């Protein structure tokens, strides 16, 4: 089951991001802090900002557009051309996302070195998309080394090693600052525990390196422990990041929800994705209090090899499942279920698979199969 960025129950959310989960409407019911952004559920079509991106991005976002059109989903796209070699995200694109609250994007290339900052990171910071959520799970019909994998990696998205605070102290010596704050650590921990609570998950594991970075990761760990005390019904555990990677490749079924600082989450999510079937089938999203950007869950910045673009054989499954997450976020659950069911049916039948899944199908052949499988 792909991750849900909204609870099923009715939400009453104030500007202070709190809502009532017990006896809704009663002034005596306690309030719960929540980070999920409710969307109007009246069925009216919703505008979604679309960023095709670089490399395989236009191929896979085009696949989503075709499927959405075929199922008559109540969304329409506002397309903007953004590329990774731009110095910054154009202001009109940010304005569109602020207006629409929701964005679907393909991968944006991140130049290596040269002092050019990642537009993916810029987007997260500008819109305060503080939670990255990646669901890594086995798909029926897709052979993997491990079974019963269903891991949700929730990663802090705005600070840590990705703070972008680097400078050359003297020639040949560069200082890069890792920033960890109590506010952001508590916020991501609350998101993880609230996600677990609302999705009937049993366990949250904090990933850290506090044995070495005693102050920075120590603060993150302290924040997770404090938040954990408010959720006695959810089991809480901690694991050092290097041991975590070893445990992931040996016994991944032991993990449920994982909450991590920025860099560790990137590594853990990609490792878990590889275990569960590959980055080409893992959905994800970046969520804040007001906005959400949905994209391929793992290796979102990986725009694919040029050969894939030329042959038009990019795998659209990850972004199709991410768009199902988006539909659920917009409170269109029946459309989300239809899309997920169709994608899983195509995978389980095994007839139309791209090269990364052991087949030789083109992007369009997979799209056509998904459309044919729609109920």
**pTM of the predicted protein model:** 0.83
**Tell me, what's the pLDDT at 112?**
65
Cα-to-chain-centroid distance, residue 288: 11
Taking only the tens place, the pLDDT of each residue in 102-154 is 999 988 887 665 555 678 888 888 999 999 999 999 998 888 888 889 999 99
Residue 63: enclosing H or E segment and its boundaries? helix 57-70
H-helix or E-strand spanning residue 163? strand 160-170
Residue 53: is its pLDDT beyond 50? yes
pLDDT (tens digit per residue) in 65-91: 999 999 999 999 999 998 877 888 899
- Dihedral sign computed on CA atoms, order 248, 251, 253, 255: negative
Q: What are 312-336's pLDDT values in tens digits?
A: 888 999 999 999 999 999 989 999 9
Residues 6+ apart with CB under 8 A from 119: 82, 84, 86, 88, 89, 108, 110
Average pLDDT of span 294-304: 72
Mean of the per-residue pLDDT values for the chain? 85
Other residues' Cβ atoms within 10 Å of the Cβ of residue 267: 17
pLDDT class for 165, splitting at 50, 70, 90? confident
Q: At what angle do helices 333-349 and 363-373 cross, to 10 degrees?
A: 120
User: Which string of DSSP letters, residue by residue, matches 237-264?
Assistant: EEEEHHHHHHHHHH-GGG--EEEE-HHH
The rounded Cα 153 to chain-centroid distance in angstroms is 8
What integer pLDDT is reported at residue 116 of this predicted model?
Answer: 53
- Res 15: pLDDT: 32
User: What phi and psi, each to the nearest 5 degrees, are found at residue 53?
Assistant: 85, -155
User: Residue 237: how many CB atoms within 10 A of its CB?
Assistant: 13
Instruction: Summarize pLDDT for 252-290 with one digit per residue, the tens.
Output: 999 999 999 999 999 999 999 989 988 889 999 999 999
Distance CA 60, CA 369 (A): 14
């Amino acid at each position: 089951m792909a991750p849900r960025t909204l609870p099923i129950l009715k939400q009453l959310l104030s500007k202070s991001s709190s809502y009532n989960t017990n006896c809704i409407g009663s002034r005596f019911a306690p309030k719960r802090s929540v980070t999920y952004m409710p969307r109007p559920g009246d069925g009216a079509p919703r505008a979604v900002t679309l960023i095709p991106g670089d490399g395989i991005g236009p191929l896979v976002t085009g696949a989503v557009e075709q499927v959405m059109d075929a199922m008559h989903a109540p969304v329409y796209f506002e397309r903007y051309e953004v590329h990774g070699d731009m110095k910054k995200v154009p202001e009109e694109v940010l304005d569109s996302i602020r207006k629409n609250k929701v964005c679907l994007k393909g991968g944006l290339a991140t130049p290596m070195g040269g002092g050019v900052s990642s537009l993916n990171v810029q987007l997260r910071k500008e819109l305060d998309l503080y939670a990255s959520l990646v669901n890594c799970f086995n798909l029926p019909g897709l052979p993997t080394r491990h079974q019963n994998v269903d891991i949700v990696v929730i990663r802090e998205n705005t600070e840590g090693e990705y703070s972008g605070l680097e400078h050359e102290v003297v020639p040949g010596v560069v200082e890069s600052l890792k920033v960890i704050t109590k506010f952001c650590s508590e916020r991501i921990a609350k998101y993880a525990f609230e996600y677990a609570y609302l999705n009937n998950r049993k366990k949250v594991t904090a990933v850290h390196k506090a044995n070495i970075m005693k102050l920075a990761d120590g603060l993150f760990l302290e924040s997770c422990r404090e938040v954990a005390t408010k959720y006695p019904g959810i089991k809480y555990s901690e694991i050092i990041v290097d041991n975590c990677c070893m445990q992931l490749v040996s016994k991944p079924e032991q993990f449920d929800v994982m909450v991590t600082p920025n860099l560790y989450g990137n590594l853990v999510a990609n490792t878990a994705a590889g275990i569960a079937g590959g980055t080409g089938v893992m959905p994800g999203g970046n969520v804040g209090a007001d906005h959400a950007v949905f994209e391929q869950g793992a290796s979102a910045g990986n725009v694919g090899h040029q050969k894939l673009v030329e042959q038009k054989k990019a795998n659209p499954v990850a972004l199709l499942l991410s768009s199902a997450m988006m539909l659920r976020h917009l409170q269109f659950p029946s459309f989300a279920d239809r899309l997920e069911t169709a994608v899983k049916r195509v995978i389980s039948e095994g007839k139309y698979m791209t090269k990364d899944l052991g087949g030789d199908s083109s992007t369009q052949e997979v799209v056509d199969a998904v459309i044919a499988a729609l109920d």
